[in-house]
A and B are shown apart, each in its own frame.
Chain A
Amino acid sequence: MDILKKSFKKSIWVFHLSTAACNNCDIEVLELLTPRYDVERFGIKLVGSPRHADALLVCGSVNAHAKPRLLEVYRQTPKPCLVVAFGSCGCSSGIFRDSYSIVGPLDKVLKEEDPDVKIVYIPGCPPKPEAMIEGIVMGLGAI
Chain B
Amino acid sequence: MKQTIIPLGPYHPLLEEPEHFKLYVEGERVVELDVEIGYNHRGIEKLSEGKTWDQVPYLVERICGICSTSHPMAYCLAVEDLVGCDIPKRAQLIRVVVCELERIHSHLLWVGLAGHFIGYNTVWMWAWKYRETILEICEKLTGNRNHYAMFKPGGVRRDFNKEQIDYGLERIVEMEKPIRLLTDAILDDPVIHKRLKGIGVLTKKEAVDYSALGPTSRGSGVPWDVRYDEPLDGFKDLKWKVIVQKDGDVFSKGVVRLLECFESISLIKQALVSLPEGGAIDADIREVPPGEGCGRYEAPRGEVFHYVRSDGSNMPYRHKVRAPTFNNLPTFKASCKGETIADVALITASIDPCYCCTERVAVVDKNNNEKILREKDLLKLSVDKTKSIMKKLGKTPPLYNMEI
Contact = CB atoms under 8 A, between A and B. Distances in A.
A126 B147 contact: yes
B35 to A, nearest CB: 14
Interface in B40-65: 40-44, 46-47, 50, 58-59, 62-65
B128 A31 contact: yes
B145 A126 contact: yes
B18 A66 contact: yes
A19 interface: yes
Contacts of A100: 43, 46
Contacts, number: 129
A23 B125 contact: no
Given A18-B16, A64-B368, A95 B59 contact: yes
Nearest to B61: A22
A24 B128 contact: no
Contacts of A60: 40
B66 A23 contact: yes
Interface residues of B, number: 41
Contacts of A63: 39-42, 362
B370 interface: yes
A48 interface: yes
A34 B125 contact: yes
B109 A27 contact: yes
A125 to B, nearest CB: 6
Contacts of B10: 66, 69
B129 A34 contact: yes
A59 B69 CA distance: 21
Given A36-B132, A65-B370, A25 B65 contact: yes
Interface string A52-71: 00000000110111111100
A65 B64 contact: no
B393 interface: no
B228 interface: no
Contact of A21 (B11, B40, B125): B40
B39 A20 contact: yes
B18 A17 contact: yes
Contacts of B364: 64-65, 101
Interface string A87-106: 00000001110111110000
Contacts of A69: 10-11, 18, 39
A30 interface: yes
Nearest to B47: A99
Given A22-B65, A64-B368, A95 B39 contact: no
Nearest to B129: A35
B212 interface: no
A24 B132 contact: no
A99 B18 contact: no
Nearest to B12: A48
Nearest to A67: B368
Nearest to A97: B47
Contacts of A50: 11
B17 A23 contact: yes
B321 to A, nearest CB: 13
Given A73-B11, A95-B59, A95-B62, 20 more contacts: A17-B18, A21-B17, A22-B64, A24-B65, A24-B146, A24-B147, A26-B17, A27-B16, A27-B146, A30-B16, A31-B132, A34-B128, A35-B128, A69-B10, A96-B43, A96-B44, A99-B42, A101-B41, A101-B364, A126-B145
Interface of B: 10-11, 13, 16-18, 38-44, 46-47, 50, 58-59, 62-66, 68, 109, 112, 124-125, 128-129, 131-132, 145-147, 354, 356, 362, 364, 368, 370
9 nearest A-B pairs in the assembled complex, by CB-CB distance? A24-B65, A48-B13, A34-B128, A99-B43, A23-B65, A64-B364, A36-B132, A66-B39, A65-B38
25 contacts: A17-B11, A20-B39, A20-B41, A21-B17, A21-B356, A22-B356, A23-B66, A24-B68, A26-B17, A27-B65, A35-B125, A61-B42, A63-B40, A63-B41, A63-B42, A65-B364, A66-B10, A66-B40, A69-B10, A69-B11, A95-B59, A96-B42, A100-B43, A101-B362, A125-B62
